[in-house]
Structure 1
Amino acid sequence: MIRQEVNDQLSRPLQDLRISIMDRCNFRCSYCMPAEIFGPDHVFMSEEELLSFDEIIRSAEQFAALGVKKIRLTGGEPLLRKDVPELVASLRTIEGIEDVALTTNAVLLTKQAKSLYDAGLERVNVSLDALDPEVFQTMSGRKTKPDAVLHGIDAATDAGLGVKVNMVVKKGVNDGEVIPMARYCKQKGITLRFIEFMDVGQTNGWEFSQVVSKKELYEQVSQIALLEPVERDYFGEVASRYRYVGSDVEVGFISSVTETFCGSCTRARLSADGKLFTCLFSESGFDLRALLREGVTDSQIRDWIRAVWEKREDRYSELRTEETAKNRNKIEMSYIGG
């Protein structure tokens, strides 16, 4: 009953919570963790700064009471955090949570996929921007080969996890990999989602000229096979979904630059150190960790979350210009998660 009573007081839906559980990654990709910024001497958070699993679970319970149905664990690379399957198992027991997923670069899935599945994880979203080793290394900022990711994808599917592959497309860097990636995922029966190169954070050197639009991507993928639209599963779904005609294999396009969706956003983000963000392009967050460690009641936490969410007026993608993209002091994606 608490869930229904609280949810009735929200004027806009809050359905999806992204929780970053680790601020570091085993890749330093050019998209969100460029090597010139996040080099070997970069200082990441201490264990004391990170939300504990108990704090994450308590936070998730309050978000669920406010209407959140889906939780995705992100990073950095979330699988660098110890005992993630235990966290997944606890999140699955929260009343109202219908879906728990995880975003990963898949390198550690070869060892952890089965335990994650057994813990109740629904699926993984795998970041993979190229199949060509040289292009992959340019995008990932590491000497790791794409085979490490592909082995992780195979481990996930073998374990029974659903898999979606996310490909950020950057003009002049990996746009030549669009068709090879589409063919690979179609053959594997895996959903591929193309993501327009976005100006997340301040360090990825974003410019409009580097964006490959949804229209361009759609035209390229259509060279493989005809596509037909798929109806949205729920309000606030960010991907425009299609499937290959005569097949159940889907392709999605996340186009926050050329076809914005701020008005239907139902997603909140919680950083690894407990800051609540109402937009991927936020300049600052709200300190939930401080409340958790001050001993306030669950009801007070829900009231605080409700107040933050109800006041949100985020429309950054709708208002973006080349100038605002350069001047706005946005948080880094490695900190907030995807």
Structure 2
Amino acid sequence: MLQDSFGRVATDLRVSLTDRCNLRCSYCMPPEGLEWLPKPNLLTADEIVRLVTIAVERLGVTEVRYTGGEPLLRRELVDIVARTAALRPTPQVSLTTNGIGLSRLAASLAAAGLHRVNVSLDTLDRATFAKLAHRDRLPDVLEGLSAAETAGLRPVKVNTVLMRGFNEHEAVPLLRYCLDRGYELRFIEQMPLDAQHGWRRENMITADEILAMLRTAFDLVEDDPVERGSAPAELFLVDGGPARVGVIGSVTRPFCGACDRVRITADGQVRNCLFATDESDLRAAMRSGASDDELAERWRAAVRIKKAGHGIDDPAFLQPSRPMSAIGG
């Protein structure tokens, strides 16, 4: 197992397939973009599948989520998903995406064995989307969501980040939009993971504020907290259910004590936390001829030293040098 010194066991693996993205969302990267990782530094498809196989067959991982950057930009994505879904025991296979291109690939991904998707959607207003993402692609995202639902990639989950003075007035319309279509909405507190290091706590809309906004239009009752387990989202029944909405309070309501996640970056580094400042290199060992047993033991050693929490409230907290796009969600 991938067990740390606090007794937490990592069973949820997030794998970044690329640091590239076709949007420039302001809470992630600057309008001009970033310097991408050199192609030789990226894990190949075979290397990705090898590490995922070790994780599933030897280390007890039961869920694999592919992320980016934007994972739909990875040409081998359908093949990687198919090879992952063919593993035994079969893990839950999911994808976090901005939805651009999903209308074209949803059916192929479902046929390959993908179980579900999380799609980022911060606004329903086209002008606001273009201002936030520096690209006029809202129709493509909405088409991608619809295609995912049609392809059976359910539950289709929607991730929303509210920003003060920008889109917080859309909290209620976004939830109505998702309820009408059977999508499961998750509001996520803005986190200090932007490349510009411009995050300020006072500018962040908190989980409490999000719930207060939603309660102006909906009756929210906390869902069974036992069912939540290690999931990051606190779930609330909407108007008596069965529809639910989630709030991920990574900053103000941390869930580090139940964390079961571990990450592999697109260049093959193990990260125990989004906010980690250190990494453990599996790529170099793999390319130097390490056996599966040796890679598994390196991975165990990396997770063993996982910290108790992300430390955002610590006065000595330092934002990680890598932005979200280079870490993987």
TM-score (norm: length of structure 2):
0.93
Q: Is the CA contact 2:63–2:93 (under 8 Å) kept in the aligned structure 1?
A: yes
Matched, 1:89 2:79: no
- The Cα offsets for residues 256-305 of structure 1, whole Å up to 9 and x where unpaired, read as 11111112111111111111101101223111101111111111111111
Q: Which amino acid aligns with 1:118?
A: A
Q: Is the CA contact 2:235–2:247 (under 8 Å) kept in the aligned structure 1?
A: yes
| 1:20 alignment counterpart | 16
Matched, 1:153 2:149: no
- The Cα offsets for residues 172-193 of structure 1, whole Å up to 9 and x where unpaired, read as 1211111111111111111100
Cα 1:9/1:167, change in 2 over 3 Å: closer
Q: Which amino acid aligns with 1:26?
A: N
Q: Is the CA contact 1:62–1:298 (under 8 Å) kept in the aligned structure 2?
A: yes
Give me the whole-angstrom Cα distance separating, in 2, the residues matched to 1:320 and 1:186.
38
User: Unpaired runs of 5+ in structure 1?
Assistant: 1-5
| 2:301 alignment counterpart | 307
Cα 1:238/1:9, change in 2 over 3 Å: closer
| 1:270 alignment counterpart | 264
Q: Is the CA contact 1:183–1:224 (under 8 Å) kept in the aligned structure 2?
A: no
Percent identical pairs in the alignment equals: 38
Matched, 1:194 2:165: no
Bigger Cα displacement from structure 2, 242-251 vs 301-310: 242-251
Give me the whole-angstrom Cα distance separating, in 2, the residues matched to 1:135 and 1:168.
13
Give me the whole-angstrom Cα distance separating, in 2, the residues matched to 1:153 and 1:12.
34
| SS at structure 2 position matched to 1:319 | coil
| 2:196 alignment counterpart | 203
| 1:294 alignment counterpart | 288
Give the counterpart of 2:323 among 325, 332, 336. Answer: 332
Cα 1:204/1:130, change in 2 over 3 Å: farther
Give me the whole-angstrom Cα distance separating, in 1, the residues matched to 2:20 and 2:279.
19
Bigger Cα displacement from structure 2, 328-337 vs 112-121: 328-337
Q: Is the CA contact 2:4–2:305 (under 8 Å) kept in the aligned structure 1?
A: no
Equivalence map 1:48-127=2 (5 Å)? 48-64=40-56, 65-127=58-120
Give me the whole-angstrom Cα distance separating, in 2, the residues matched to 1:328 and 1:8.
25
TM-score (norm: length of structure 1):
0.91
| SS at structure 1 position matched to 2:160 | strand
Q: Which amino acid aligns with 1:330?
A: S
Measured after TM superposition, the shift of residue 204 of structure 1 is 4.5
Bigger Cα displacement from structure 2, 79-88 vs 307-316: 307-316
**Alignment: residue pair count:** 325
Q: Is the CA contact 1:226–1:244 (under 8 Å) kept in the aligned structure 2?
A: yes
